[in-house]
Chains A and B, each alone.
Chain A
Amino acid sequence: DTGVSQNPRHKITKRGQNVTFRCDPISEHNRLYWYRQTLGQGPEFLTYFQNEAQLEKSRLLSDRFSAERPKGSFSTLEIQRTEQGDSAMYLCASSLNRNTGELFFGEGSRLTVL
Chain B
Amino acid sequence: GENVEQHPSTLSVQEGDSAVIKCTYSDSASNYFPWYKQELGKGPQLIIDIRSNVGEKKDQRIAVTLNKTAKHFSLHITETQPEDSAVYFCAPGGGFGNEKLTFGTGTRLTIIP
Within the complex, which residue of A41, A100, A107, A108 is in contact with B99, where a contact is CB–CB below 8 Å?
A100
B3 at the interface (CB under 8 A from A): no
Q: Which of B59-113 contact A (CB under 8 A)?
A: 89, 91, 93-95, 98-106
Count of CB-CB pairs between chains A and B under 8 Å: 58
Size range of the interface on A?
Answer: 20 to 34
Q: A41-B106, A43-B89 are known contacts. Are A107 and B42 too (CB-CB below 8 A)?
A: yes
**Chain B residues in 8 Å Cβ range of A31:** 99
Size range of the interface on B?
Answer: 20 to 34
Name the CB-closest residue of B to A35: B103
Q: Tell me if B's interface is mostly helix, strand, loop or mixed.
A: loop
Q: Please determine whether A107 and B103 come into contact, CB atoms closer than 8 angstroms.
A: no
**Chain A residues in 8 Å Cβ range of B41:** 107
Within the complex, which residue of A4, A45, A101, A107 is in contact with B102, where a contact is CB–CB below 8 Å?
A45
Docked CA distance A107–B45 (Å)? 10
Q: Please determine whether A55 and B99 come into contact, CB atoms closer than 8 angstroms.
A: yes
In the assembled complex, the CB of B63 is this many whole angstroms from the nearest CB of chain A, namely 18
Q: Please determine whether B43 and A107 come into contact, CB atoms closer than 8 angstroms.
A: yes
A93 at the interface (CB under 8 A from B): yes
In the A-B complex, list the 6 residue pairs whose CB atoms are closest, starting with the nearest.
Answer: A105-B43, A42-B103, A100-B94, A100-B32, A43-B103, A102-B46
> Which residues from chain A sit less than 8 Å from chain B, CB to CB?
4, 31, 33, 35, 40-45, 48, 50, 55-56, 91, 93, 99-103, 105-108
> Which residues from chain B sit less than 8 Å from chain A, CB to CB?
4, 31-32, 34, 41-46, 49, 89, 91, 93-95, 98-106
